Structure 1
């Protein structure tokens, strides 16, 4: 397809009328949108800067709102004055009473007799006081949830293997008792070594 003088005149006329490059290409036939844009640039035709769509929408909305306000003022009777409002205040709810905390009784532990104790038992024995372990719920893996203690009980390879299952704190995987066993201060760990 070649650009003849009459096709160029048609392009200039259609461009001046405000048609898009796609519309011009379809009217001329046998030419693509990109070919039209290229020819417009080579001919140095005046570019058409479009205002952003948001500006056009905002202007249309403002004009429409102004027209509606004028129409509403002509048609609508004046609005009655607002009625007085009754304000009722309610007392703030009382804070719930804190729940009592369970504290296991301390048990005096005799000195180790030389048998093989775990590191935790040795640390606790050296302190002289050991906290009693709470009763466990003995849950299976399937029964565990976000809020249950995941402290393992027994041999993982045996059929009797279970987890503690007591209620765990906030984001901790263990109940309060097992959390103290699992997360010992560094000074306690050094004493065991």
Structure 2
């Protein structure tokens, strides 16, 4: 979740109004209570007392000489569950955004599998499984593997991801 300028301003406004972190998280949508608390601490927002209905709230008015341009986007409609421990859990109608990460293709040569059975494997054969172990046509790749790996070069690239790519995928 990215903290845009608009969302930060809304967070500041709701925090100043005395809303709880849970209420702010529900209003913002797509963010947890803990994320709101963390952002409040990083912004070094002052502690505030609880606002009550009897206390009138002062509204901040922007100066006339400096018009404020705020871009808003339609918020997802929230539905609040009212059962058990999930009484305040919010459910969202909006579909989650899926980001597809494409890795560059580097001279990838897919080996032709030798389709070896378990008893045909040796120390120097690729042990990458092909198919479902419960079916009769289950086999292993069987191509030549490296000295320090149970897989051939192609399957080793599939099995072992560099740490930088694992971090980037999160």
| TM-score, shorter chain, exceeding 0.5 | no
Greater helix fraction, Structure 1 or Structure 2: 1
TM-score when normalising by structure 1: 0.34
Specify the structure having the higher radius of gyration (Cα): 1
TM-score when normalising by structure 2: 0.38
